[in-house]
Amino acid sequence: MSLPEEDLTCPICCDIFTDPVLLSCSHSFCRSCLKRYWETGLRECPVCRKRASKASPATNLALRNVCEALLMARRSSVLVEEKMNCNLHGEKLKLFCLVDKQPICVVCQSSKLHKSHDCSPIEEAVLDCKDELASSLKNLQDKADSLKRIHMTSADMIEYIKSQSLETQKLIKRQFKQLHQALYQDELARIEAVKKEEEDKIAGMKDKIKELSAEVLFLTETISVIQEQLKEDDMVLLKNFKATQDREKSIALDSDNMSGLLIDVTKHLCNLKYKVWEKILDHIDYTPVTLDPNTAHPCLILSDDLTSLHYSKTHSCCPDNPERFHISAEVVGMDALGSGSHHWVVETGSNQDWLLGVASLSVPRNSEISARPENGFWTLCFRNGEFRAMTSPPTPLTITRAPKQVKVKLDYNKGTMSFFDPADDTLLYAFTHMFTETLLPYFYTQSSHPLRIMPEKVLVTMLRQG
């Protein structure tokens, strides 16, 4: 229970006690006041005149604590009063300027500075500001919790990055090994072709040499016959002339044609690198869409070449990064689709639960939303044996023969998103929408049977300069 203020007043200075001391007569005084009183020569109680001891009077601790508490309360009251008053006009702050976000007095409100500003009573402003600060506090706490979670998983993220790097390097080496093998096989085949031509050319040369040797021998013999005939008598020469002439005419001399005997070097080396590259294309698959593994839901399993996906009940050990779909089994392609025309074919096979199409780049990855155009999705759905275009509400489709493949075609500039059966190019459904945002190829499945993006044939076109 608090004491009346008069009980806390020094009888000498008539002010609140400062460092009070207690005399044996139970009266209390400020230490400094009592000292000045005693300096007059009378060492007695200023109230009851009782003689005081020569010893230094004891401090009245209880009274000192009460007085200090009272003085502190007074100072606090003054500070509060100062805070509640306007610094410019000294008036009580009763209003809150909604434009400048500060408390003002009624004089401030009528001044040029705040005359055109909306204001509200202090009591209402306090409630509104508290609500706003509470909302800000919640947002900051949510961000802090999110940062703490990220911080806690940072070590796991580093390990995952390392494993990603090792796995990617392994897959790169595997694909280059396949290319090296194809190049090596082509190199061996071309070298064998040169060696085979060498053998054929040498065998041909040996046959040519045999023919030449036979012809040289025949020519030598013929020359000898003619020389002998020239030595004979004239009548003998004339009698044998026709036979000798026929022998000479029978010599065809075709073996002296030595053209085409060398190796056709041009055939083996002409545009060799281009021809090898063109042949290598037969060993290469090109897919117009590649899946982005950093966006795949943990239950989706992607192939090594990132062209197929299927569902697994076992979650993969992947980090909770912002790009990843966290709620349902979704994944998007890494190729951003903007201006122009784009298409790809997806083999659905035995998969009985899928969605295919495109999704806006900004669709949320950590909340469950319907795959509808108003949410940034343009998709075709197959579930429970029924095809539906995912409009709002979904549109059931009557399809006589369920396609094993679906062609997805986007014409961004024309604003059409179409689905076809590539077997006979039958249109299954077409969305019409004026696209303004970047789109991504979109896939969803909860089936263990894979969805596979089909490869396309690479065509090489040579441009010749005129």
pLDDT tens digits for the chain (466 residues)? 456 777 789 998 989 899 999 998 989 999 999 898 888 878 899 899 898 888 888 999 988 999 888 888 877 766 666 567 787 777 887 888 988 888 888 878 878 888 788 898 988 888 888 888 999 999 999 999 888 877 877 878 888 889 889 999 999 999 899 889 989 999 999 999 999 999 998 998 888 888 888 888 888 888 888 888 888 888 878 888 888 777 777 766 555 567 778 888 888 888 898 888 888 887 777 899 999 999 999 999 999 999 999 999 888 878 888 899 988 999 999 989 988 999 999 999 999 999 999 999 999 998 888 999 999 999 999 999 899 999 999 999 998 888 999 999 999 999 999 999 999 999 999 999 999 999 999 999 999 999 999 998 777 676 666 5
Do 334 and 271 share a structural domain? no
Residue 1: predicted pLDDT: 44
Q: Is residue 349 part of a domain?
A: yes
Residue 213: predicted pLDDT: 85
Q: Is residue 168 part of a domain?
A: no
The domain boundary residue, chosen from 59, 83, 107: 83
Do 398 and 346 share a structural domain? yes
Do 447 and 403 share a structural domain? yes
Do 18 and 55 share a structural domain? yes
Do 241 and 101 share a structural domain? no
DSSP 271-332: THHHHHHHHHGGG--B-S--B-GGGS-TTEEE-TTS-EEEE-SSPP-----TTS--SSSEEE
CATH of the domain at 90: 3.30.160.60
Q: How far apart are CA 413 and CA 436, in angstroms?
A: 9
Do 323 and 217 share a structural domain? no
Q: Is residue 235 part of a domain?
A: yes
Q: Is residue 202 part of a domain?
A: yes
Residue 289: predicted pLDDT: 94
CA-based nearest residue to 405, from 357, 349, 321: 349
Do 270 and 343 share a structural domain? no
Residue 279: predicted pLDDT: 83
Residue 463: predicted pLDDT: 66
The domain boundary residue, chosen from 267, 284, 301: 284
Instruction: Tell me how many domains the chain contains.
Output: 4
Q: What is the pTM of this model?
A: 0.61
Q: How far apart are CA 42 and CA 30, in angstroms?
A: 17
As separate numbers, helices (DSSP H) first and strands (DSSP E) second, the chain gives 7, 19
Q: Is residue 131 part of a domain?
A: no
Going from the C-alpha of 131 to that of each of 4, 137, 138, the distances in angstroms are 41, 10, 11
Do 394 and 259 share a structural domain? no
Over the range 37-75, which residues count as b (16 or more CB within 10 Å of their CB) and which as e?
beeeeeeebbeeeeebeeeebeebeebbebbeebeeeee
The domain boundary residue, chosen from 258, 284, 310: 284
Q: Is residue 458 part of a domain?
A: no
Residue 409: predicted pLDDT: 96
Do 411 and 308 share a structural domain? yes
Residue 291: predicted pLDDT: 96
Q: Is residue 153 part of a domain?
A: no
Do 401 and 298 share a structural domain? yes
Do 434 and 342 share a structural domain? yes
Q: Is residue 23 part of a domain?
A: yes
Do 92 and 79 share a structural domain? no
Residue 449: predicted pLDDT: 96
Helices (H), 232-264: 234-249
**Could you tell me the residue range of the domain that residue 91 belongs to?**
86-116
